[in-house]
Structure 1
């Protein structure tokens, strides 16, 4: 794909291609950033000469490209970019009309910049973005590998005539950031409000750094219940941030910032250490529940740390928790990395149980599962929630439970909130359930009070009612209400 710039334009200067020896044989004709900026300045000047002249800048972020290139090698990464270039060319040529010039540059290792000139309005930039995202829905075949690639796109246009090139690029960058954080469509148009949110995000990042140092993070625990025995099987550890000014913050309000700034690594290790210590204490305090397990999410950044295995070994040793009592939850997209299977095998050798979290929302699917030592699938709550309203969701969920059982993999259904959902999951032989039907997440003190009440059979005949759809709270001391299904005392 060549940058189509009319040769008769008097303001045109010689352009430079992106210089990288990896691409010499592949001949991808992308400009370098300096040439792109120069072309953008020319277009901005033209927009000042001709009233109503519109253009747009698109920053295209290739998600996971760095990981793919690191794990599979630069030659595979280069071939992947070449294949992407073909799809990008088709997306551009099939969306915009012949009067529109476009320029493409390699902006960074995993980002491209696209300049659309002489467009009618910014909606044409949105159409291009949609077409680029659509072109990535099928995998690339590179050296016998099926590689999935996705993109997020930020769009900025000249909605006024006093823009500088740097300001437009900053706007596109902010829009790209918002697309990565919250977009379901893969792209975002820049709005002035994004700049305000960007300042707020920087403030949040600074506060989070201080919050970690000041030990403002808290763990909450949500029960996981066996649907076969109606007994408590374990807990999932969920992090909260007790912000000194904003109160208790849920993960969605700070985890994205932690991931982007890599604060998720120290935060994740703290969560794992705290959860293991707490579970060991409960196992000693309540001998009836020595078999309880603790499920902890572990981020892709943690998994990429060279000292991962040693760090986990140290945490288990220091806490005293048996490795069999620990379940590590990973996202299914991690299964696409070539080095993942070796890492998971090392964890399995330690008898740590491995779970795929939010299964059904990523790319891997059941075809990947036989190749990995996975013990448990946690079905995303969206499938459970959709059971009542959408028969397709119900069929998909039932199919996932059946196939998992055929593979010998246990299933945890997340987001169980109604008696009907619970009954269907039991009928389908789903092994575990988690959600507000059983209990909302509880802090350590409330969880301990609940275990104390359960261990002495305070609710009669050695059984305790569970669940409350509206709040997850029935008995104020324990945070648990009454329902027909009961968690039985051991």
Structure 2
């Protein structure tokens, strides 16, 4: 079926659809936009018309009898003349798989039914212009490549016998050496090469001279006016009549036009024309490389799948032009969010170059966060986006705001290949929409895994107290002047029947969140007091024992009664018990917390301030709550022999503590040099692996029996 009108000088559009009414509507819209049209009612007829009439653009329905749109598109692309023809797939299938099949078959773009007839003609014109630009760029690339293969625009040579160098004036002009008014030397020849490329170029040429072999290299030169030129430098070896390498003959060519054309083609192929963001093709390529790199280096990364909430309503209300402006503004907002995402809780990303933002189509965006260290960093970025997107955008007089729903998948836990990672991020995004939109969700299975692990530890802790799985290890505290043991710090460990030894930093935070910390604190105090009394009954010299209490809801732990009962049950004098608390307890400054600390002092307990200098340190609370002991954090002690700042801080803490009447204990002493330095500064006591690591109660009794630890 053929209806060809006004073919002279008008671009020809082939409309392929088995629905006559739709064909007529499309032809009318295109004719209004200045196109001539031909029609085909199926794919087979479309292929025949393409061969005979060579249309400039094809509007191709997906679902047709005899030969569907995908097969028709593939058939046209396989023809010699079908490489640059623009193909717009027209589909009523609103699913990602159909869209991906369309692009794989060779479509340039797709449009979903119902069709906006006004926009159809404009889209056809844009596609025609893009197609012609691509064809012209490819033609220019081929012409330039061939021309520069044949034309020697400037020549140079190196005599391999006497190692002399000669360069033609034309080569000098190309390299920006017009101000050199003497014979151009080899060093002059390399002087204009961009600094970051000079070593590479010199190494390439020097190696070719040494081994007498040809080479070809591309690099940039910087001209005297600051302009940049791309140079192709090639050389061959010239042999004398005896077959001996005699001369290295080279040519430099200005390939700036070729490079610019390649860059234009790259932009068309890999970047979204509306937003300037990466397109699906570039994103999938980068994702493949990221998976390979993460597998090699054992790293994790995240995908954030974004969909603007109710974007269709904005398009319907204000038109597609305003919708496009909104998409451009949102893309700029996303880029700003990523650039600012490396400041919260330490570096979230190694650098800006470790991220890629792409527009997949419509109102869908995806962000690749590379090397994120931990999944929580992806949530930090997602929260920033959630907060930033609803900004009111003023678009041609209209105030428009939009929200977004974000799904997050993590490599490798949520998938080890591209398809699964994308699918799971997409699934998590729909989960976010089900949660009410304007939020982010991790992929559900990974959440379940995390919750399951946390629940396992929580349940295990409930049973650990009943099954006596917790144990206390004891680290000696040494009087620095004599090296005698004067105390011990009790440190909790969890001997899990399946997981083995679990350190406190893995389970204490969960214990605090669930309230189990109250029972754990009680067990630690009771066990430490009981053990101290057992050592005394074994005729070992009396010492004080320090227990580190979690400051979580200290006022609600009934801690004073627990301490009193533990001391009474063990028949232990309160002077032999020391309570270690961290700075965050002081920083709470609640009335109840102040009361508890005063009651501890009334019981004649020693109060030690642990990890001093690592929290939100303030000298004011040291006057409000006079402590008996200030413990210098191990981070300062470990750096004291190398870092001047650490030594300054240590001396300041010691001087301040002594002026307030407090004892000073240094943690983390591991070498004799550290010991002598800390002792020389006037610290009273210390602990660390130089003297002994934390040990069980039996081994500690053996240490206690010694006069001193040397």
**Shorter-chain TM-score category?**
0.5 to 0.7
**How far apart are the structure 1 equivalents of 2:445 and 2:652?**
46
Partners of 1:432 and 1:388 in 2: CA distance: 18
Segment drifting more, 376-385 vs 336-345 = 336-345
Distance 1:425 1:133, change over 3 A: closer
In the alignment, what sits opposite 2:507?
254
- 2:459 equivalent in structure 1: 206
Counterpart mapping for 1:377-392 below 5 A: 377-392=630-645
Q: Secondary structure at the match of 1:245?
A: coil
Cα contact 2:629–2:663 (8 A) shared by 1: yes
Deviation track 1:385-440 (CA, whole Å, cap 9, x = no partner) reads 11123211111111111111111111111100011110011111100101101100
Contact 1:294–1:326 (8 Å) recurs in 2: yes
Q: Specify the alignment match of 2:703 in structure 1.
A: 450
Match of 1:44 in 2: 309
For the 8 Å contact 2:337–2:381, the answer to whether it is kept is no
Which one of 165, 169, 174 corresponds to residue 432 of structure 2?
165
CA 1:120–1:396: 2 relative to 1, 3 Å: same
Q: Secondary structure at the match of 1:361?
A: coil
Q: Deviation per CA, 1:295-338, whole angstroms, max 9, x where unpaired?
A: 00111236222632222111111111111111000111111213
> Any idea what the Cα deviations from partners look like across 1:38-71, whole Å, max 9, x if unmatched?
xxx9943439999xxxxxxxxxxxxxxxxxxxxx
Question: Aligned equivalents of 2:557 and 2:451: distance in 1?
Answer: 32
What is the SS of the residue equivalent to 1:442?
coil
Instruction: Give the secondary structure class of the aligned counterpart of 1:225.
Output: strand
Q: Give unmatched runs, 5+ long, in structure 1.
A: 1-40, 51-98, 102-115, 135-151, 176-189, 455-462, 467-485
2:463 matched to 1:196? Answer: no
Select the residue among 304, 310, 313 that pairs with 2:564: 313
Mean alpha-carbon deviation: is it higher for 392-401 or for 116-125? 116-125
Give, in angstroms, the shift of residue 168 of structure 1.
7.6
The CA deviation at 1:248 is 1.6
| Partners of 1:234 and 1:293 within 8 A in 2 | yes
Kept in 1, the 8 Å contact 2:485–2:704? The answer is no
Shift of 1:259: 1.7
Aligned residue for 1:430, secondary structure, equals coil
Q: Distance in 1 between matches of 2:439 and 2:632?
A: 36
TM-score by length of 1: 0.59
Report if the CA contact (8 A) 1:302-1:308 is conserved: no
Q: What are the superposed Cα offsets for residues 234-257 of structure 1, whole Å, 9 maximum, x if unpaired?
A: 100001111101212221222222
Mapped contact 2:309–2:437 kept (Cα < 8 A): no
Larger RCO: 1 or 2 (CA < 8 Å, sep 6+): 1
Report the Cα distance in structure 2 between the residues aligned to 1:417 and 1:191, rounded to whole angstroms.
46
Instruction: Mark the CA change 1:155 to 1:319 in structure 2 (over 3 Å): closer, same or farther.
Output: farther
Provide the C-alpha distance between the structure 2 equivalents of 1:389 and 1:381, rounded to a whole number of angstroms: 14
Superposed, which structure 2 residues align to 1:66-465 within 5 Å? Answer: 121=334, 124=337, 127=340, 130=343, 154-156=380-382, 157-158=406-407, 160-162=425-427, 163=429, 164-165=431-432, 196-287=449-540, 289-290=541-542, 292-301=543-552, 303-305=554-556, 307-336=558-587, 337-339=589-591, 340-452=593-705, 454=706, 463-464=707-708
| Counterparts of 1:227 and 1:293, CA distance in 2 | 16
Three-state SS of the structure 1 residue aligned to 2:572 is coil
Q: CA RMSD in A?
A: 3.8
5+ residue gaps, structure 2, are 1-305, 316-325, 348-376, 383-405, 409-424
Distance across 1 between alignment mates of 2:637 and 2:653:
12
Judged with a 3 Å threshold, the aligned counterparts in structure 2 of structure 1 residues 174 and 326 are, in CA distance, closer, same or farther, namely: farther
- Given that 2:473 and 2:697 are in contact with CA atoms closer than 8 Å, whether structure 1 keeps it comes out as yes
Mapped to 2, the partners of 1:267 and 1:438 lie a distance apart of 28
Residues 348 and 373, structure 1, Cα contact 8 Å, conserved in 2: no
Total equivalences in the alignment: 325
How far is 1:274 from its partner? 0.3
Instruction: Report if aligned partners of 1:385, 1:415 keep a CA contact under 8 Å in 2.
Output: yes
CA positional deviation for 1:228? 2.5
Tell me, yes or no, if the aligned pair for 1:48 and 1:161 is still in contact at 8 Å: no
For the 8 Å contact 2:551–2:584, the answer to whether it is kept is no
